[in-house]
Structure 1
Amino acid sequence: MSAAIDPPRPSLAARAPLLVVLCGCLIAMLSFGPRASSGIFLLPMTGEFGWGRDTFGLAIAIQNLLWGVGTPFAGAVADRFGVTRVLCAGAVVYAAGLALMAYSSTPGLLHLSAGVLIGFGLSGCSFNIVLAAFGKMLPEKWRPLSFGAGTAAGSFGQFLFPPLAAGLNTTIGWQETLIIFGLAMLLIMPFSLALAGSRAPARTQEPQQTIGAALGEAFRHRSYVLLVIGFFTCGFQLAFVTTHLPAYLTDRGLSLAVGGWTLAAIGLANMVGSLGSGWLSSRMPRRYLLAAIYFARGVVIAGFVLLPASPAISIGFGVLLGLLWLSTVPPTSGLVMLMFGTRYLAMLYGFAFFSHQVGGFLGVWLGGLFYEKLGSYDFVWWLSVALSFASAVINLPIVERPVERAPAPQPA
């Protein structure tokens, strides 16, 4: 008797790609929300404990830096062992950081909780890991739109969480709000199971590289280096605005609620911007798209600083900046995948994201430092404008084609 051999069952990504995208988007939304709400906690915490804004800013700067430091390593683990374990570990560490932040009555505890724990937690469960999973698991026709959807979902977290944080701070207190956010992070664990499917098959032209060979190839590639350098500006601007914008608006006579709704407007508009960027990434040169985004950011920020403060101008700024907020992510991740393939996508995008987070560290830290030194945020706003125009120029020479590799040896 001969037993019939059943063909291997298709992966979940092949059978239900929409479900994989939906669960990944929910993870991106949950992980990005509390991080995008950090500015809502600046004034309550510094006011209660008598800290300067530089103390709070340093904690969030550490968070951004360690998020960037941890992402390539989390990506390498995800490339080797799958994303589910990384997402679950990141969610637990993130939740612990939020819970400890609620009881951080000294600068050291604040730097440990809001800085170290949340930073490393984000490196394991943020949208970077989700986008890499999409690139590996989903059919090729789903990838450009899924990159935009995953980024937009993070933006929806930014739309949802800051007003929620502002409202909960007023009604139940900032400590209880952080505890609730910490519990919400644990929902990432069940959603991560949908991303546990088998990987997409490697392309035939992709050699079986070691991690060291992949890193050496990437950092010898001029276009990848330019992409990494340009991504620095994105992190600088995002982290500075997320952390210091509510306080900046309060300094100019507006309420904390206006700051929360401005951050929410950024998140809501970025859903449109990210999806549009994902759509455009497959229809025009990505380097031109990135240059246009950075240039437009510089113009929008300059206009906001020069105009008088009002709720309407603030919300309008949020909408315009939101259209450009995370719209850099789909073309950036798409370029990394185009240059090097999907084999080490999580790790190589992770190194690009590290540059982004170095920018975030400096944006948050310099924002608090210069405020305490100069009494205003004006210098950092104009530095953001200058960096925008510089990054627009840096992205233009990028060459959009796969890296040239020697053909793999053929078996005898």
Structure 2
Amino acid sequence: MERQHAPSPAVQGLGDASRGRLAYSPPRTQSAPSLREGWPLIAGSWTIFFLGLAILWHANGIFLVQWERAFGWGRGLIAGAFSLGGALSALATPLIGRVADRYSVHRLITGGALTMGVGLVLLALIQAPWHLYLTYTLAYLGFTLMGHVPIGATLARVFLHRRALAIGIAHTGMGSGGILLAPLIPLLIATVGWRWTLAVAGLLAMGVLIPVGATVFRRVPQAPVVGGGQGGQGYTLRQALGMWQFWVLAGAFVSANFALSGVGAHMVPFLADRGVSLQRGALAIALQAFSHVGGKLTFALLAERLQPRYPLAVAYALGGIAVALLVFVGAPWTAYLSAGFVGLAMSATTVFQPILGALYFGTMALGAILGVLFAVTYSVASAGGAVAGLLYDITGTYRVPFLAFLGLLVVGSLLVLATGQRQRPPISSPTPPAPEPGRRS
């Protein structure tokens, strides 16, 4: 009888894709890590979000004012660098996701930390607008190499139990940076100036995040593959792109986050037009950051007890209520309630993208799938603020863009509900074997 040769790992990874199926793998015996056992990975992820977004998101308005005063550049010109950096970095996430699926994620983390740190140091040396656009994009690309897609895919693979809570805890670093670190940046600027502040931030990013990537993420445990589990099971990117749930989810994320980015960027100017002082407007933003942190934990816990589409739909509905309060009531007290609801709605997407991605498509190619979802979502959503500003310039009021945002949030909530339950579990596929000594990882 002719002896059959075992297929190579590459062929195993393809499985029986030509017939629309994936090959089953032999079960592994190791158990999935608990939250306690996996806390270094959660803490490392939290630290990346904490440092990266405190500098490159929460502090954007602070540096905008500094550059406006130093160079006389218009706010639109400066804000354009933020939008372009975010959009171009989002377009890189499909490739980043593929790398996260195929190789050890520690290479992305360490490379991203180095890139972000160098970008921030170069940002401290800018003299012309093109310097700003180039260096900010470089720094944001560095964060993207470390951020949502690699971390989301890694946590979803590793934590088969309490997956939603692990992802939620890690993502609280996003809002925590705005609460704890961003308020210190004006003090540092007042002491040493904005150039040295950015240089220190770049050195801090490299000094903290490179060791995190080289140690914590180098020892990421392999997720088990068992008969009915999701450790290394799922669809390929091509198969996921052929599923209607993918495009319904993408439509929900795009519509809701386009609206939320526009409302978030223009909430303080909107309140100023209504006679709310800048101090009270700043308080509303602080409440938004607090609710952003609390929302991630709350929605993560709800996702463990309910079908995840339900709390996500509620989150986007709360965003719609926030916009409705701003448009139809407009009283100063609504600013605080609206800010809280907007923070809750904003907190939902980055938590639920990996949760729903793993639920509908499995974890075998989750990095690539999340990369495409992230690229589609944020390359479009980053334009929300610019569109709101353009409509305001044309009409002289925020009523038109905010009513459009209200409609988009309703659409996003309904699309999430339309995804339905997962019809069948992803068919299993083997997790790539651990690299042999001397091979790349």
Q: 1-side partners of 2:130 and 2:398: how far apart? A: 25
Q: What is the letter of the counterpart of residue 120 of structure 1?
A: L
Residue equivalent to 1:71? 93
Among 389, 406, 412, the alignment partner of 2:410 is: 389
Any idea what the Cα deviations from partners look like across 1:73-118, whole Å, max 9, x if unmatched?
112112211111101111222223333333333322222122x213
Confirm whether residue 401 of structure 1 aligns to residue 422 of structure 2: yes
Residue equivalent to 1:357? 378
Among 179, 185, 199, the alignment partner of 2:205 is: 185
Q: How much has 1:300 moved relative to structure 2?
A: 0.7
Among 173, 176, 180, the alignment partner of 1:160 is: 180
Residue equivalent to 1:5? none
Alpha-carbon contact 2:35-2:162 (below 8 Å) kept: no
Confirm whether residue 174 of structure 1 aligns to residue 187 of structure 2: no
Confirm whether residue 151 of structure 1 aligns to residue 171 of structure 2: yes
Q: How much has 1:403 moved relative to structure 2?
A: 5.4
Alignment of 1:268-283 (within 5 A): 268-283=290-305
Q: How much has 1:260 moved relative to structure 2?
A: 4.7
Identity in percent: 26
Q: How much has 1:220 moved relative to structure 2?
A: 0.9
Q: 1-side partners of 2:65 and 2:391: how far apart? A: 17
Q: What is the letter of the counterpart of residue 200 of structure 1?
A: A
Q: How much has 1:356 moved relative to structure 2?
A: 2.0
Work out which of the two has the higher radius of gyration on C-alpha atoms and give 1 or 2.
2
Q: 2-side partners of 1:147 and 1:405: how far apart? A: 21
Among 124, 143, 167, the alignment partner of 1:122 is: 143
Alpha-carbon contact 1:338-1:402 (below 8 Å) kept: no
Residue equivalent to 1:289? 311
Q: How much has 1:190 moved relative to structure 2?
A: 1.6
Alpha-carbon contact 2:35-2:166 (below 8 Å) kept: no
Among 124, 137, 151, the alignment partner of 1:102 is: 124
Alpha-carbon contact 1:162-1:260 (below 8 Å) kept: no
Q: 2-side partners of 1:93 and 1:391: how far apart? A: 34
Alpha-carbon contact 1:202-1:342 (below 8 Å) kept: no
Q: 2-side partners of 1:142 and 1:209: how far apart? A: 18
Aligned pair in 2 of structure 1 residues 60, 245: CA closer, same or farther (>3 Å)? farther
Q: How much has 1:244 moved relative to structure 2?
A: 4.2
Aligned pair in 2 of structure 1 residues 118, 255: CA closer, same or farther (>3 Å)? farther
Aligned pair in 2 of structure 1 residues 127, 262: CA closer, same or farther (>3 Å)? farther
Q: How much has 1:146 moved relative to structure 2?
A: 0.4
Q: What is the letter of the counterpart of residue 183 of structure 1?
A: L
Among 115, 118, 134, the alignment partner of 1:112 is: 134
Aligned pair in 2 of structure 1 residues 300, 158: CA closer, same or farther (>3 Å)? same
Residue equivalent to 1:58? 80
Alpha-carbon contact 2:248-2:419 (below 8 Å) kept: yes
Mind listing any 5+ residue stretches in structure 1 that lack a counterpart?
A: 1-7
Q: 1-side partners of 2:260 and 2:204: how far apart? A: 23
Aligned pair in 2 of structure 1 residues 289, 157: CA closer, same or farther (>3 Å)? same
Among 228, 234, 252, the alignment partner of 1:230 is: 252
Alpha-carbon contact 2:171-2:351 (below 8 Å) kept: yes
Alpha-carbon contact 1:31-1:125 (below 8 Å) kept: no
Among 80, 86, 99, the alignment partner of 2:108 is: 86
Q: How much has 1:67 moved relative to structure 2?
A: 2.6
Q: How much has 1:202 moved relative to structure 2?
A: 3.6
For this pair of structures, how many residues does the alignment match?
397
Q: 1-side partners of 2:420 and 2:382: how far apart? A: 29
Alpha-carbon contact 1:228-1:352 (below 8 Å) kept: yes
Q: 1-side partners of 2:273 and 2:187: how far apart? A: 20
- Give the secondary-structure state (helix, strand or coil) at the position aligned to 2:348: coil
Residue equivalent to 1:347? 368
Alpha-carbon contact 1:78-1:86 (below 8 Å) kept: yes
Q: 2-side partners of 1:111 and 1:308: how far apart? A: 36
- Give the secondary-structure state (helix, strand or coil) at the position aligned to 2:418: coil
Alignment of 1:1-40 (within 5 A): 16-34=37-55, 35-40=57-62
Q: 2-side partners of 1:11 and 1:407: how far apart? A: 17
Alignment of 1:241-390 (within 5 A): 241-246=263-268, 248-249=270-271, 258-308=280-330, 310=332, 313-374=334-395, 377-390=398-411
